Structure 1
């Protein structure tokens, strides 16, 4: 439903003069624009992407880039937007770049290299950072298709050169594992690892699988496997790094490169590794469109980067492009330049937008402003980051003729040329806009059933019962080598459980500190235990159903729906609610409005916002007398 709202807004904006001018201006070259307030710039870019007019790349200061990324994800969908963060790695720093940064960068470069539809958002700090040259990306961008023949040894060699880590069992992006004719690999471009089964040299099947259960999720016909990092380490790379270090008088680096061993922080020397010093701009074809937010800042950003390298005593021309080189690269592209001054020389497409101002949680003030805009002929749309928040805003403004949609947009605007007002949570509440974003790429989460176990711990196998964990051992079965959990049962019998079946084993959790007897393998004892537990569970379920049926039959007090005062109280909280807080408050108030006794427990750790939820419920009760 919310997607339909943003589609309708984009359709309305597409008919406005400034939007048409930008689209037509790109036919002849570059375009300068002025006056894009709030999220209006994201609407312009989303419109152009849908029209097939680009841009391929959107460059903005770091804070603005994060907001632009989030706004475009709302308007275009997350699968159409990539983000290329800076590595923020200086020569001499002994640390690995974060998995999140590496994964996002590889994903963004693959989108550009493969000419996939969508847009890549780049903060200014990443524009001048050297990266893997496009021709090298093409060389190590592997494609597996069902039915095609692939040399397994050559494939594994390229995966290792491309930065993949070989492990017994794949658990995180950037890893691969081989067992007989099966290859598991977790590329950064896939949400799940992929299992390729070979029949000789032919790819027999490809399927995505779940890391924890090892179960297949879906079959695919093709998978793209990019390098796992921008530094592809080959013998030629070592030779060139050693040669370039000697050329620039970096003796410490030359000596280290001669050891032929990767070290943490080596990515900082990317500019010396490849014959061509490539930037993300080199992934664009001449004539591609790039959006520049605050274009005057690019040269200043490059100068700041050069100054920081100068302080380290490094040869600047070896590590970063000059401002002139950056300008040359940009000149071969068509640009949409958002200029900050209306006095900019040359033709400018002017967007007469303004910021709507904030209401600070004052509902009466918000209703008055919205009513005035509606009376003046504006279409008013409110964007909320969570369905519960959208529901609350819709109730507060239900008589004002506004549309409310779910979308975590960064800033509102008033756009007279389109008779449109967009409001966001930032305008409604007494708090600045903050978009929480969990990491997209994370290290492998250890499987609790293994990492929580120590030799001698009791475990329960769902098919064989209680046994004692003796460890993990590698074995070869039927010509295929794999890892097995060893579980000992009564009389010394042993069960060997393949790691692929870990989901069937869990640590024994008893209520009392009494050691239960081990189960006898091959007997009916465990089946009798399971049958007895099932009977007890059914009996308990019946008792609970009877108890709740009795409670539901008794009358309770049905509280009235939320009042305007309730909405005003909730808007006044200074802290941004979490999605769980909003959902808990919504469910509690729904319970309170039912004519039956309420039965709900609110759980949460210290400081997680239980009191704020309770205050809302208490206020609702007080308002009903």
Structure 2
């Protein structure tokens, strides 16, 4: 049974239809209670599927809660329909961690293009002011095979976009120039690109592997997005704006259960001033709080102008209440689980991966009875839930394998960008084991020289099982 079946099951509930009929207009609010486990994410996913053009913004109180929502919502929607806009980790306007900076830029780019259906963010991120939207409007750059760029102008443009010029790219938000070859690694790129010029014309455009620096495949075009440190062209002090100012006017804001936005906004506001004072005492000259953050009153006013869907715990006063239950605890008792999934209620068990699904299927099968009637599928949600039987229906039970075996769910977010590593070869000898961040454990085979474009590079050679070799600059 695919995850679409969970959306179907929630959509069939009378409470879903009541909530759909009463969805608020701007300046209005609707409180919905009784959504157990991860049924809150399933509910929002079902709304997004039913309302083909409505934009949803989930505003969580903390980053862990926002990441939980992202991990739950993404498998329920078409690929790329949900994204996270994280808060800055540092006080200043420029985010020092490139993974976070890149996710911020990419998400704002997708919001501006209308590609997202569900945006997930935090109260702190909603309070922040940023120049990135202005930079995205004026500084994005497209490199295309056959396109023409004067090399000095291209270099100046990339520097204006916040890219660091380096002898050889080993991380995102960098570019290098070697003769008529320009390498660029931008946010939004799966791999860096290499443009080869003949005069002012790009005659070849290829992606390349950042570890070996070897070209991998031709591409017709590449979009280069500005780094978060960029400033809009022609505007020395481009206007800063907030995330909420970029959202469509019919956005439906979702406040998860237990969210207290106003106290969190005011705490962030006061904490920002505290850190600014500390920076000033250290002799630094930080931007003012009003430049980096919107006042809480402004954010609260912007939120009040949007339609709001407030999720409340079971039993709380609400406009619409769902009749869902917590799933029965299993506590690693496979015998009890075998009986449970044969009680007549359809059961879906969500597993982290195919291997876990196959193993659990073996455990649930009984000699002389046959395979388990439970539907095991790969899909990760934070918590299970039960839709009770009603109106002749048999209901639905949703379990997760980490709850069955009492394991903590670990949300592992894949790295957005590859990076090269600098091996310290002074103390390495041929045959030593080394660990590459992306490729894992290999055997160091020594130093070699390779020819890339018009440049000779000295690389450390790492060999992997099967004879595959990685050249690390």
TM-score range, shorter chain: 0.7 to 0.9
Counterpart contact for 1:295–1:337, Cα < 8 Å: no
Paired position in structure 2 for 1:275:
239
**Which residue of 354, 359, 362 maps to 2:333?**
362
Shift of 1:363: 1.3
Residue in 2 that maps onto 1:194: 193
Aligned match of 1:47: 46
Q: Quote how far apart the aligned CAs of 1:301 are.
A: 0.7
The residue that corresponds to 1:67 in the other structure is 68
Structure 1 residues 291 and 148, CA gap change in structure 2 (3 angstroms): farther
| Alignment map for 1:67-106 (pairs within 5 Å) | 67-76=68-77, 79-90=80-91, 97-106=96-105
Which of 261, 264, 272 in structure 2 is aligned with 1:309?
A: 272
Quickly say closer, same or farther: Cα 1:26–1:194, change in 2 above 3 A: farther
Deviations for 1:6-59, whole angstroms, at most 9, x for unmatched residues? 123333433333334444444855543222221212222333334424434322
Unmatched 5+ stretches in structure 1: 241-273, 459-467, 486-498, 509-536, 538-625
Matched residues in 1 for 2:364 and 2:108: separation?
44
User: Structure 1 residue 331 and structure 2 residue 304: aligned?
Assistant: yes
Structure with higher RCO (Cα < 8 A, 6+ apart): 2
Maintained 8 Å contact 1:82/1:107: no
**Aligned residue in 2 for 1:126:** 125
For 2:25 and 2:296, the matched residues in 1 are separated by 26
Contact 1:456 1:470 in 2 (8 A): no
- Bigger mean CA deviation after superposition, 79-88 or 421-430: 79-88
Taking a change above 3 Å as real, the CA distance of residues 77 and 191 of structure 1, as seen in their structure-2 partners, is farther
More strand by share: 2
Equivalent-residue separation in structure 2 for 1:436 and 1:469 (angstroms) = 34
> Residue 5 in 1 paired to residue 7 in 2?
no
Moved over 6 A (4+): 453-458, 468-472
Residue aligned with 1:432, SS: coil
Q: 1:357 offset after TM fit, Å?
A: 4.1
TM-score of the aligned structures, taking structure 2 as reference length: 0.78
Alpha-carbon spacing, 1:410–1:341, altered in 2? closer, same or farther (3 Å): closer
1:407 maps to which residue? Answer: 379
Mark the CA change 1:341 to 1:141 in structure 2 (over 3 Å): closer, same or farther: farther
Distance 1:454 1:484 in 2: 24
Distance 2:135 2:406 in 1: 50
Match of 1:114 in 2: 113
* Structure 2 match to 1:298: 261
In the comparison of the two structures, how many residue pairs are matched? 428
Does 1:388 pair with 2:355? yes
Change in 2 beyond 3 A, CA 1:201/1:171: same
Secondary structure in 2 matching 1:382: strand
SS in structure 2 at match of 1:5:
coil
| Counterpart in the other structure of 1:352 | 323
Q: Does 1:288 align with 2:222?
A: no
Equivalent residue in structure 2 for 1:430, among 400, 403, 406: 406
5+ residue gaps, structure 2: 278-287, 366-370, 432-445, 468-473
Determine whether 1:36 maps to 2:7. Answer: no
d(CA) in 1 for partners of 2:74, 2:153: 38
CA distance in 2, matches of 1:134, 1:309: 22
1:422–1:116 distance in 2 versus 1, CA, 3 Å? same
User: Which of the two has greater helix per residue?
Assistant: 1
For the residues of structure 2 that align with 1:470 and 1:406, how far apart are their CA atoms?
A: 44
Write out per-residue CA displacement over residues 459-513 of structure 1, whole angstroms, 9 at most, x where no aligned residue. xxxxxxxxx97989xx9x9xx8x4314xxxxxxxxxxxxx6xx6xx8489xxxxx
How far apart, in 1, do the equivalents of 2:202 and 2:307 lie?
A: 42
C-alpha separation in 1, matches of 2:376 and 2:252: 33
Q: CA deviation at 1:298?
A: 1.2
Q: Residues 6 and 312 of structure 1: is their aligned pair in 2 closer, same or farther, counting only changes over 3 Å?
A: closer
Cα deviation, 1:122-155, whole Å, max 9, x if unaligned, reads 1333221222252332112223344444444333
Kept in 2: contact 1:455–1:470 (CA 8 A): no
Distance 2:119 2:375 in 1: 30
Query: What is the CA–CA distance in structure 1 between the aligned matches of 2:14 and 2:200, rounded to whole Å?
Result: 58
| Distance in 1 (alpha carbons) for counterparts of 2:132 and 2:377 | 42
Q: Distance in 1 between matches of 2:249 and 2:147?
A: 34
Cα distance per residue 1:331-351 (max 9 Å; x no partner): 343333323475546xx2322
In the alignment, which residue of structure 2 is the partner of 1:532? none
Change (3 A) 1:181 1:114: farther
Cα distance change on mapping 1:507 and 1:185 into 2, 3 Å? closer
Larger Rg: 1
Tell me how far apart the structure 1 counterparts of residues 252 and 168 of structure 2 sit (CA, whole Å): 42
Residue 254 (structure 1) aligns with: none
- TM-score w.r.t. structure 1 length? 0.60
User: More displaced, 69-78 or 406-415?
Assistant: 69-78
Alpha carbons of structure 1 residues 454 and 13: separation in structure 2 relative to 1, 3 Å: same
Q: Secondary structure at the match of 1:87?
A: coil
Query: Any idea what SS the aligned residue of 1:371 has?
Result: coil
Cα distance change, pair 351–328 in 1 and its aligned pair in 2 (3 A):
same
